[in-house]
Structure 1
Amino acid sequence: MVERPTYPCDLSDARWALIAPRLNAWRQARTQAGVGGRAATHNLREIFNAILYVNRTGIARRYLPHDLPPWQTVYGYFTAWTNDGIFVQLNYQLTGLTRTKAGRAVHPSACIIDSQSVKTSTNAPLPTQGIDAGKKIVGRKRGIITDTLGLLLAVVVTAASASDNTIGINRLDQAKAIHPALAKTWVDAGFKNKVIEHGAALGIDVEVVTRDPQIKGFSVVKRRWVVERTLGWIMQHRRLARDYEALPDNSASMIRIAMIDNLTKRITDETTPTWRDT
């Protein structure tokens, strides 16, 4: 790897050691299958560093610094890893390691569901957008499921006009397939009987948690505060302040990358330097 000044979002040796086996296995499998034509020459660590740079800073890929791999190459790998489920696999693996470090079972038995509507950029095709009538936002809706530690278990990105019921059912199916031990989930009042009935069919008890009507202004809501905190974590990555991706699947990958960044730091006990550290 060519020596260059490091960026705050670059992977340390310890964090790269958590990610490298999965990416190296992916490249080896493609090489043996004859996919991609000529032999790969780009360093996978630098490719991942470039993806983290875009995710953390929010810049357009075309504006990647010249000491990182070409933006076309970075986008090509990002698309391939999205299509091949590499970000899903990494998130699953790192979530298990983080839960183990926290003294929890590898597979969670309880989760929390929530959604977030965000505006889109001009990159997003009109058919993938919609209007969230409640929040008066034109864009897309991110539906996530977290465990009780706030770690991402499943994510789906749809048009903002999609109902919480539709998103909730999709997320329950996705989370149950990946984490079969799930037996309990907490949701807000936007999720109706369809989600509760679908959860029962999957063996998941769905409990609706509502705010105390006697309390005015902001209040911490039981269990739901955990998933709200997770949404706050991912919003620290500027690429997620708005949905800039042309495809909803790419948007979901950007959310998973933000959590992979978070999880690797939790496992290695690292933090990202900020202006406060000076």
Structure 2
Amino acid sequence: GTIENLGVHLHRMVREQAGRTAEPTACLIDAQSVKTASSVPIGTQGTDAGKKIVGRKRSIVVDTLGLLLLVIVTAASVSDNEAGKQLLTQLAADYPTITKAWVDTGYKTKAIEHGAALGIDVDVVPRNEQVKGFSVVPRRWVVERSFGWIMMHRRLARDYETKPAHSESMIRIAMISNLAKRVTGETPITWHNP
């Protein structure tokens, strides 16, 4: 709808301001599990066994600047692999210029093969197992920063929406706010200047 059109227009403007082509050729895919509010219907939630979070999962695709291209919100029990396949299908349809995607180790052979069938080279970027705790992972830090931008919006620190589609819209609106600030030269929101 209109929100998506505004997002696409601002996205192109920000890319061109950054000296990039209007249409991206590479992207990053990742997922974030978040807790849900008590008002969220049980049927739209699940448990992310790996992270031990009961709630929903936000799976996003961003370009190499960290700007949102696609988002789907599912029960947290949906595997990264399954959500990744859905995103890759939508990515091939909506962004035919993209031929490269970086993902973490949660995305397995099926997602990689699905991407290859669509003409997208899906490359797994593992974290350095030698480093304990937090470490900056090449390429993947970009999508992690995008999740940080999303979490700066208080309403998105937890999932309060009754329908997953409403959660997706709230994430798009938050990222459009980020794009508008970039286009106008206003500093994007950070932990230091909320």
Provide, for residues 141-180 of structure 1, a one-character-per-residue CA deviation record: whole Å limited to 9, x for no partner: 0000000000001000000000111110111122222211
SS in 2 for 1:122: coil
Unaligned 5+ residue runs, structure 1? Answer: 1-84
Partner of 2:32: 116
1-side partners of 2:187 and 2:20: how far apart? 22
Q: Which amino acid aligns with 2:133?
A: G
What SS does the corresponding residue of 1:113 show, helix, strand or coil? strand
- Determine helix, strand or coil for the equivalent of 1:206: strand
Matched with 2:101 is 185
Residue deviations 1:217-264 (CA, integer Å, cap 9, x gap): 211101000000000011110000000000000000000000000001
Query: Any idea what SS the aligned residue of 1:189 has?
Result: coil
Partner residue, 2:121: 205
| Higher Rg | 1
Question: Counterpart of 1:214?
Answer: 130
Identify unmatched segments of 5+ residues in structure 2.
none
Per-residue CA deviations over 1:164-203 (Å, capped at 9, x if unaligned) read 1111011112222221100001000000001000100110
* Distance across 1 between alignment mates of 2:67 and 2:188: 18
Q: Distance in 1 between matches of 2:31 and 2:122?
A: 16
Q: Distance in 1 between matches of 2:189 and 2:163?
A: 31
Q: 1-side partners of 2:138 and 2:77: how far apart?
A: 27
**Equivalent in the alignment of 2:59:** 143
**2:168 partner letter:** A
Over 3 Å counting, the alpha-carbon distance change for 1:119 and 1:106 in structure 2 is same
The aligned residue for residue 76 of structure 2 is 160
Cα distance in structure 1, aligned partners of 2:40 and 2:90: 24
Q: SS of the residue aligned with 2:158?
A: coil
Task: Report the TM-score, using the length of structure 1 for normalisation.
Answer: 0.67
More helix by share: 1
Read off the aligned partner of 1:249 and give its amino acid letter: A
Alpha-carbon distance between aligned partners in 2 of 1:125 and 1:115, rounded to the nearest angstrom: 21
Deviation (angstroms), 1:216: 2.0
Change (3 A) 1:273 1:131: closer
1:257 equivalent in structure 2:
173
SS in 2 for 1:157: strand
1:223 aligns with 2:139: yes
Give the C-alpha shift of residue 273 in structure 1: 8.9
> Which whole-Å CA distance do the structure 1 matches of 2:160 and 2:53 have between them?
15
Superposed CA deviations along residues 17-75 of structure 1, whole A, max 9, x for unmatched, are xxxxxxxxxxxxxxxxxxxxxxxxxxxxxxxxxxxxxxxxxxxxxxxxxxxxxxxxxxx
User: In the aligned structure 2, how far is the partner of 1:121 from the partner of 1:149?
Assistant: 31
CA distance in 2, matches of 1:204, 1:189: 17
Q: Structure 1 segments of 4 or more deviating over 2 A?
A: 271-274
Aligned-pair RMSD on alpha carbons? Answer: 1.7
Counterpart position of 1:92: 8
What secondary structure is seen at the aligned counterpart in 2 of 1:199?
Answer: helix
The structure richer in strand per residue is 2
1:81-104 per-position Cα deviation (integer Å, ceiling 9, x unaligned): xxxx22222211111111011110
Instruction: Tell me how far 1:272 sits from its aligned partner.
Output: 7.1
> TM-score, normalised on structure 2?
0.95
Identity within the alignment, % = 62
